[in-house]
Amino acid sequence: MTRTALLLVGFFSWMSLLSCGRQASSQSTQRENTMQFYYASLINNQTIEVKSQVALDKPPTLELINHTTNQRATLTHKAHPAKLLHHFTLEQPISELSHHLTVAINNGTTTHEMPLRLFKFYDHPDFTNHYLPPNTIQWGVMPTTESTTFNIWSPTASDITLNLYEDGVNSPLYESYPLTRGARGHWQLTLQENLIGRYYNYSVTNAGQTHTLTDPYAITTGTNGRRALITTPEIAFRGRRFDSNEFIKVAPKDAILYELHVRDLSMSATTNHSEDLRGKFLGVVQTGTTNQYGQSTGLDHIKDLGVTHIHFLPIYDYNSVDEGNLQDNVFNWGYDPLNYSVPEGSYSSNPADGYVRMRELKAMVDNLHEHGIGVVMDVVYNHTGPVTDHYFQHLVPDYYFRMDEFGNFSNGSGTGNETASEREMFRRYMVDSLKHWATTYQIDGFRFDLMAVHDIETMNLIAQELKAINPYVVLYGEGWTGGGSPLPAHLSATKTNTYQMPDIAVFNDDIRDGLKGWVFDAKESGFVNGNPEVHARALFGYLGALQNIDGHGDGAYAKLPTDTIAYVSAHDNHTLYDRWLESVPGESFEEYMRLQIMANAMVLTSPGIPFLHAGVEMMRTKNGDENSYKSPDSTNQLDYDLKNRTQPLFNYYKNLIQIRKNHPLFKQGLLPNGNHAFEIVKGSQEDPLFMAFRVIDHTNSDAWQGVYLIFNAGENTHTVNLSGGEWRLFADTWQVTPDLTESTFRGSITVEPKSIAMLYQPK
């Protein structure tokens, strides 16, 4: 091809990208005209299923039109299993998925032409036996100084063209090359050329339409993720090699998690972070910063608190923030994934240069590791941000997503689409993407958004593969969906199936809602803010969902303390402080601080893995904003001046974290005899706003013989009988002071209303 022709190819593929909006609207008009039929889809290689909107007494007739070969064929009506579903048989099996096929359906009066779709075919052995490529292919780009190889999978595409660019933003196309189609939808191209540092994307033609898309296996891109950089981690990090010794060696049972958004840490004027680092990966690791009172901020503040891992809200490349326009307020949580294996550009100092986002994220992780802090990534494989304009849909239409019974995108994520982890190529994709994050950046753990959209088999495969890389990996997820999903409940990685996923924890919404009130009714209180009706749920949640209230396994979904994440607040919904304002209005700031202490005193002594929402240690507010996903920095950022009036709260959490780290007895669950290591103190359940536990050390590794943990959330004074010997107070309502030995008790302790008492007995 001449250079002019090559430029024209680029021009037209760019035009097709630009005209997506118009195509979509013309498609929807077409759909309105053909509303008597929901879809026509291949179901095996010789049968087409058509679904009509109303029951048809007389079978319709069907003609298959092949626009690639200009042939038409009338099909035999085979059966209508229900009067809405009609099956038609082809004379010959379809052997070429890349042909542009439509069907013309005649219901006796009118003819409707519709695309022949494949979503019902992808799970059939006629597809899985013939179109899945071997597991040995390394997808993406493999550059060396001599040659560059590109591999991509699409059994449906009729043409895939590589487009090359000088930069990652807007330089014109300078060369393009067709890829060669091999067996099972594997397309390949090797150029005898050093292309390291150039950018690329693909033009992919499916059913006669060409779209430009980013390689799903891209590891970094230029601005807004539209062009991938030709590189490898070794090249990006200048030859540096990584090994498993670089992970943080904190096992899940010892983890204490702190959930943070990159921007929130350093945007506020209440911290003196360097202006150029604010909101960036590198701002996370700036040290020596303070508020106006000279108190530590940023990383120093987190280190002082003593958590083991920072869990970051999405840091993969998401869609909502325009990376080319960062001077505006550009806050977003980032739950709209674009490129799953690429770092988000807006957190780097230069989104245009694909190397910069990789190197700055790597520097952040390395630096946190040097400070002894692990990194957990919030990953959102359950849906894509854009969907009809996402690379998955342009590459193999309908393959990567689940469809509902009408052939529309199903909505298990609540955002308009859901991915299909049970399909082999997406399952492999999730595993490969996660392995990339683990091996390239030494990410220590992953939090799976709406994990119940994924299937159990995929989640267990992920755990197995990641544990092989890092035996300390911390894995957990939301054990629920965001809407109804076609994935059968018994296959779903949902909360109640946790016991089938031994290496993955689920968020314990029972302790969350039990302690502060049901999350969907902000006015409702929980145990801590004085609701006697939630005692059972609070107790079940506090004990790590290991036993039901009667000490039995019925309803319990956890087997080990590490099966659940103990928490009362997170980025979703009100901050904990804002929740007190909603549920128990009119109290003093000091009273709210008391509630805030008790809530996480319970979280930090619970057997589950404790999780703190950033800022909860200083009464963070979002001024009542319960869904701040795109609210301005002024709402979301951490206000460090709050530290000046919340020191008792911070110190309480800090000291209790230290005690948890030093005492394995808190991390005990069920004993070999089936009893819970946390014994409910006799008589303490008579008052629903009172809980008391005795925990004896069965680990043989604790310096303490045992502890009493007493939480009195109500108005009554209680006396708790203590077992033999002397017990020493290590925490009361306002202080955790493990060295305080003068407060000792024998026989019993009297606990005032609305107070905490925790005691220990040394060995």
Instruction: Name the residues annotated as catalytic.
Output: 449, 478
CA distance 645 to 460: 45
317 touches Ca ion (CB under 5 A): yes
The sign of the torsion formed by the CA atoms of 614, 617, 620, 624 equals: positive
d(CA 572, CA 570): 5
Quickly count: other Cβ atoms within 10 Å of residue 106's Cβ.
12
Q: Mapping DSSP to helix (H, G, I), strand (E, B) and coil, where does residue 610 land?
A: strand
- Chain CA centroid to CA 513, Å: 21
Query: What's the CA gap between 571 and 580, in Å, rounded?
Result: 16
Backbone torsions φ then ψ of 229, nearest 5 degrees: -85, 140
Give the 3-state secondary structure percentages of the chain, helix then strand then coil, rounded to 5.
30, 25, 45
Please say which residue, 345 or 688, places its beta carbon nearer to Ca ion.
345
Residues touching Ca ion, count (CB under 5 A): 2
Q: Which 3 state secondary structure label does DSSP give 48?
A: strand
SS3 state of residue 243? coil
CB 463 within 8 A of CB 491: no
Q: Of 716, 754, 749, nearest to 595 (Cα)?
A: 754
DSSP string of 320-375, one letter each residue = SS-TT-TTS-------SEEEEEEE-GGGSS-TTSHHHHHHHHHHHHHHHHHTT-EE
Q: How far is the CB of 264 from Ca ion (least distance, A)?
A: 18
Nearer to Ca ion, 345 or 607 (CB): 345
* Cβ neighbours, 10 Å, residue 722: 18
* DSSP collapsed to 3 states, 675-696: CECEEECCCHHHCCCEEEEEEE
Rounded CA gap, 452 and 477, in Å?
8
Our finding on whether 478 is near Ca ion (CB under 5 A) is no
CB 417 within 8 A of CB 411: yes
Residue 581: phi and psi, rounded to 5, are: -60, -35
Pairing outcome for strands 474-477 and 445-448: parallel
Place of tokens 């925790």: 758
b/e sequence 390-408, b meaning 16+ C-beta within 10 Å: bbbbbbbbbbbbbbeeebe
- Residue with smaller CB distance to Ca ion, 354 or 412: 354
* Per-residue x/- track, 496-515, Ca ion (CB under 5 A): --------------------
| 731 sits in which H/E element | strand 727-731
Site for Ca ion in 93-122 (CB under 5 A): none
Indicate the residue among 298 and 345 with the shorter CB distance to Ca ion.
345
Measured between alpha carbons, how far is 243 from 194 in angstroms, rounded to an integer?
27
Q: Per-residue x/- mask for Ca ion, residues 322 to 351, rule CB under 5 A?
A: -----------------------x------
DSSP 623: T
Q: Which stretch binds Ca ion (CB under 5 A): 53-61, 310-318, 533-541, 655-663?
A: 310-318
| Range list of H helices, 584-714 | 589-605, 633-636, 647-662
Give min distance, CB of 344 to Ca ion, in A.
Answer: 5
Q: Using CB under 5 A, list all residues that contact Ca ion.
A: 317, 345
